[in-house]
Amino acid sequence: MLGPRDRVIGQIYIEGDLRVGGVVEGEVEVTGDVEIDDMAKVKASLAGRDVTIRGHVNGAVVARKRLVVAKSGSLFGDVRVARLAIQDGATFSGKVSMGAGAATAPLVKAVEAPTPVPEPEPKAATEVEKPAAPIVAVPLVAAPKITPPAIIKTAAPAPVAELRVAGKDGKGKPVAAPIKGKPNKKKRR
């Protein structure tokens, strides 16, 4: 519950219900119901199960179940809802997308999004790091012929990683040298 003198600017995520009486700016996501009271001024995207608007709202609204814009309410923004009720006297402008699928889609995506992201990241990081290590070592040791072959074997099943290394670093030649030893030497001469 945010009273008439309360103000929030930023991102709110609430497990449960939210009632706004004051000023909210930003992004609001609520697992339960959202109520915007008469005197409230909201400049934010709202997402909730049941959304009831009696005050001023400027922003997109997603209601998984139902959106109600009451007599005193005004809403400017696009709306994705399962059910919609607008009472006579309410003000509303925006695009309406209706149907069970339209309302649930964005919320599900938001929840799932964080989980798949970490998975591919570590893989890519390790692939890049392995070949990257010898490159750093190359100029220091100045005789990379002994160490690179072993590392290249590990990197071999992932040709993408090899390409990245070559493209990333101009000094990618030493890594490739053991494989195509002759052409490299020719270039150097």
**Interaction of residue 53 with another protein, rule CB under 8 A:** no
Distance CA 71, CA 153 (A): 71
Minimum gap (Å) between residue 13 Cβ and another protein: 28
Closer to another protein at the Cβ: 22 or 94?
94
> How big is the site for another protein, counted in residues (CB under 8 A)?
19
Distance CA 64, CA 81 (A): 6
CB-based contacts of 29, cutoff 8 Å, min separation 6: 11, 12, 13, 14, 47, 48, 107, 110
Minimum gap (Å) between residue 136 Cβ and another protein: 57
Segments in 113-169 forming alpha helices (H): 120-141, 148-155, 159-168
Minimum gap (Å) between residue 90 Cβ and another protein: 7
DSSP track, 39-78:
T-EEEEEEEEEEEEESSEEES-EEEEEEEEE-TT-EEES-
Closer to another protein at the Cβ: 20 or 63?
63
Closer to another protein at the Cβ: 96 or 124?
96
Minimum gap (Å) between residue 102 Cβ and another protein: 9
* Contact yes or no for 63/49 (Cβ under 8 A): yes
Closer to another protein at the Cβ: 77 or 134?
77
Distance CA 75, CA 91 (A): 6
Query: Which of 2, 24, 40, 68 is the binder for another protein (CB under 8 A)?
Result: 68
Contact positions with another protein (CB under 8 A) in 73-132: 83-99
Minimum gap (Å) between residue 14 Cβ and another protein: 25
Instruction: Provide the binding-site residues for another protein, judged by CB under 8 A.
Output: 66, 68, 83-99
